[in-house]
């Protein structure tokens, strides 16, 4: 039996989103809420606890490979919903995260936003879809999913008529205001990635709880460029990401903090690093911090932190990301200082105090900032091997990862 009626499909085509009710059991939803509490170390029944660290922009909870999230990803009904959108059951799932957006207050003033998750400078724009599962009943004023209905049609028209420019939210949305889409616990909302969307300003007295879920045809991945073709190397990297996800929990238990604290600590370390870029040709060497070069056939003006070698430059990460060039992380003093600040224990750590004292020096000395490398270091240096098994997958889940083939 199909989940989407003819009227649902018509609504999808016209508005760019559709809601499928009651796709998972209540027990699944409660399991994710419990997992959010454990991951963040927060008491979801305690209002003061909502605003304790970790706090991530937009309320994102980066617990991508938690078993509770995987149980929903591999739900047959959720898979069927995406299959009907794509017209194909042979799909791979994205490794998305959860969301906890608490009410605005003096500690938290998320105003809401609308955006695209695609790079709007890339042509042509391939079809891409995303989804969000409502973990609890969500009212219009609760900071949940919002969008500008039908804006994906406006975007396509804009792209066709303005081939050399990049669209802005204002140019596509015009005078149309975002609409908040309320939902019941267990509802799945799927939207076209060309639709202007985001989460809202929570003026209620309760947090908004959600889980993001996306799927696309097998042997493809969702990127800023849309859905693009994957290869065997990407398939193997997807499998490794699932296999190695327990490393983050292992580091958290070793140090004695909630897993979300470790995620935040390492993410902030990563964000403080510079970028090391290899250029094709140096047209004008750095002068007062500015250089003119050719990278990947394009002439670029670079603001240079340091010229490491003849064709190797150190840049601010944000610049490398803005001009969209390949780069390697450069472990600088800012990153070293952040990785040195190992979070203090919230509960009894598995490591002894003398080992916790030694850990920061080892991380800086070896320039280690990846969770897998830290797990290996803890095992090799201190003899603590506490890595757990990855999330359990059903036969459907193994196909959605790419471990097993669909055919």
In a domain, 387, yes or no: no
One domain for residues 195 and 58: yes
In the prediction, which pLDDT does 5 show? 97
Q: Which two tokens stand for residue 165?
A: 């420019």
In the prediction, which pLDDT does 156 show? 87
> Under a CB-based contact definition with an 8 Å cutoff, are residues 273 and 317 in contact?
yes
**What string of pLDDT tens digits covers the 407 residues of the chain?**
899 999 999 999 999 999 999 999 999 999 999 999 999 999 999 999 999 999 998 999 999 999 999 999 999 999 999 999 999 999 999 999 999 999 999 889 999 999 998 888 777 777 899 999 999 999 999 999 999 999 999 998 888 888 778 888 888 888 888 999 999 999 999 999 999 999 999 999 999 999 999 999 999 998 877 888 999 999 999 999 999 999 999 999 999 999 999 999 999 999 999 999 999 999 999 999 999 999 988 899 999 999 999 999 999 999 998 888 889 999 999 999 999 999 999 999 999 999 999 999 999 999 999 999 999 999 999 999 999 999 999 999 999 999 999 98
User: How many domains would you assign to the chain?
Assistant: 3
One domain for residues 358 and 309: no
One domain for residues 261 and 120: no
Q: What is the pTM of this model?
A: 0.94
One domain for residues 366 and 292: no
Structural domain harbouring 282? 274-330
The CA-based angle 168-171-174, given to 5 degrees, is 130
One domain for residues 205 and 323: no
One domain for residues 138 and 169: yes
In a domain, 305, yes or no: yes
One domain for residues 227 and 290: no
In the prediction, which pLDDT does 215 show? 97
In a domain, 406, yes or no: no
Three-state secondary structure call for residue 68? helix
In a domain, 345, yes or no: yes
CA–CA separation, 263 vs 269, rounded Å? 10
One domain for residues 267 and 278: no
In a domain, 407, yes or no: no
- What CATH code is carried by the domain that includes residue 106? 2.60.120.620
One domain for residues 143 and 91: yes
In a domain, 386, yes or no: no
CA–CA separation, 277 vs 286, rounded Å? 14
CA–CA separation, 196 vs 148, rounded Å? 5
Which among 131, 70, 69, 145 has a CA at the least distance from the CA of 101? 145
In the prediction, which pLDDT does 347 show? 97
In a domain, 179, yes or no: yes
One domain for residues 199 and 315: no
What are the Cα distances from residue 221, in Å, to 1, 22, 129, 227, 237? 28, 27, 11, 5, 12
One domain for residues 187 and 304: no
One domain for residues 213 and 262: no
CA–CA separation, 251 vs 263, rounded Å? 10
In the prediction, which pLDDT does 119 show? 82
> Under a CB-based contact definition with an 8 Å cutoff, are residues 399 and 219 in contact?
no
Query: Cα Rg for the chain, rounded, in angstroms?
Result: 23
- The strand pair at 208-213 and 98-101 is best described as antiparallel
């Amino acid at each position: 039996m199909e989940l989407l009626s003819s009227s649902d499909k018509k609504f999808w085509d016209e508005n760019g989103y559709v809601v499928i009710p009651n796709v998972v059991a209540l027990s699944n939803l409660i399991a994710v809420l419990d997992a959010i509490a454990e991951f963040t170390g927060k008491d979801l029944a305690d209002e003061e606890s909502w605003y304790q660290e970790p706090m991530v922009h937009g309320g994102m909870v980066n617990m991508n490979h938690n078993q509770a999230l995987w149980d929903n990803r591999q739900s047959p009904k959720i898979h069927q919903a995406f299959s009907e959108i794509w017209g194909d059951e042979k799909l791979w799932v994205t490794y998305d995260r959860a969301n906890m957006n608490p009410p605005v207050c003096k500690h938290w003033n998320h105003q809401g936003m609308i955006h695209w998750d695609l790079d709007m400078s890339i042509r042509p724009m391939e079809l891409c879809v995303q989804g969000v599962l409502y973990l609890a009943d969500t009212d219009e004023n609760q900071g949940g999913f919002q969008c500008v209905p039908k804006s994906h049609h406006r975007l396509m028209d804009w792209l066709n008529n303005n081939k050399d420019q990049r669209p802005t939210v204002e140019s596509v949305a015009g005078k149309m205001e975002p609409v908040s889409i309320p939902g019941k616990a267990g509802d799945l909302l799927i939207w076209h990635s060309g639709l202007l969307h985001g989460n809202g300003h929570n003026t209620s007295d309760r947090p908004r709880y959600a889980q993001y879920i996306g799927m696309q045809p097998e042997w493809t991945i969702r990127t800023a460029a849309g859905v693009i073709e994957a290869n065997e190397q990407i398939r193997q990297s997807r499998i490794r990401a699932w296999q190695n996800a327990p490393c983050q929990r292992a580091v958290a238990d070793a140090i004695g903090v909630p897993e979300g604290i470790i995620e935040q600590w390492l993410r902030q370390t990563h964000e403080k690093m510079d970028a090391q870029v290899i250029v094709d040709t140096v047209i004008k060497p750095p002068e007062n911090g500015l250089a003119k070069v050719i990278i990947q056939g394009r002439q670029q003006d670079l603001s240079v932190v340091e010229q490491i070698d003849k064709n190797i430059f150190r840049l601010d990460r944000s610049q490398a990301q803005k001009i969209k060039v390949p780069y390697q992380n450069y472990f600088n003093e800012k990153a070293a200082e952040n990785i040195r600040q190992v979070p203090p224990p919230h509960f009894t750590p598995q490591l002894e105090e003398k080992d916790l004292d030694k850990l920061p020096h080892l991380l800086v000395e070896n320039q280690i900032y990846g969770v897998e490398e830290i797990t290996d270091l803890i095992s090799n240096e201190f003899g603590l091997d506490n890595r757990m098994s990855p999330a359990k997958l059903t036969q459907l889940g193994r196909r959605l990862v790419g471990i097993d083939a669909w055919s």
